[in-house]
């Protein structure tokens, strides 16, 4: 089925000049960019976006990182887009992510891992409403 995923190309990717390369991978795969916005996350959006992580030990530095500069927020759509995007980005920890994935090829950190993508159709609905309420 055609699905939509909420994808964030994180501040580390923007700082490192990898925005074009990462967007290009998604486009080359055949996913459609339905919305694309450069913006800086504020603390309250970070807390809402990462609601399931706010009590974890890794959350305070994650919040500092995610609010540290502009990121690209996008809606990607396509057949099975949620699962397809997750497989393209690879495992959370860039040191363990498989070669050929975005993190496996371009990231070496568990926190600064370049990309976030919705992990299920249900979380996609929740995240899309947070980031792109007019959609």
Active-site pick, 116, 117, 118, 127: 116
* 113 annotated ligand-binding residue: yes
Among 4, 86, 103, 116, the residue binding ligand CMP under the rule CB under 6 A is 116
Please give the C-alpha separations between residue 116 and each of 60, 79, 126, in angstroms, as whole numbers: 17, 19, 14
Q: Which is nearer to ligand CMP, 59 or 134 (CB)?
A: 59
Q: Per CB under 6 A, does 67 bind ligand CMP?
A: no
Cα–Cα distance, 13 to 24 (Å, whole number):
13
**Is 65:114 a contact under the CB 8 Å cutoff?**
no
For residues 39 and 81, the answer to whether their CB atoms sit within 8 Å is no
Q: Does position 68 bind ligand CMP by CB under 6 A?
A: no
Q: Is 26 annotated as a binding residue?
A: no
Strand partners, 9: 72, 115
Encoding tokens for residue 7?
Answer: 């994808």
Residues marked active site are found at 116
Residues near ligand CMP, by CB under 6 A: 53, 58, 62, 92, 110-111, 113, 116
Annotated binding-site ranges: 10, 58, 86, 92, 103, 113
């Amino acid at each position: 089925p055609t699905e939509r995923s909420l994808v964030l190309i994180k501040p580390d990717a923007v700082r490192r000049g990898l925005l074009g390369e990462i967007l290009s991978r998604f486009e080359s795969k055949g996913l459609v960019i339905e919305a694309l916005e450069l913006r800086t996350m504020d603390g309250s959006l970070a807390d809402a976006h990462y609601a399931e992580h706010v009590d974890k030990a890794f959350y305070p530095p994650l919040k500092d990182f995610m609010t540290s500069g502009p990121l690209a927020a996008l809606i990607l759509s396509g057949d099975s887009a949620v699962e397809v995007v997750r497989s393209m980005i690879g495992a959370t920890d860039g040191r363990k992510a498989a070669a050929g994935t975005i993190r496996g090829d371009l990231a070496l950190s568990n926190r600064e891992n370049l990309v976030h993508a919705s992990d299920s159709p249900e979380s996609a609905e929740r995240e899309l409403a947070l980031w792109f309420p007019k959609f």
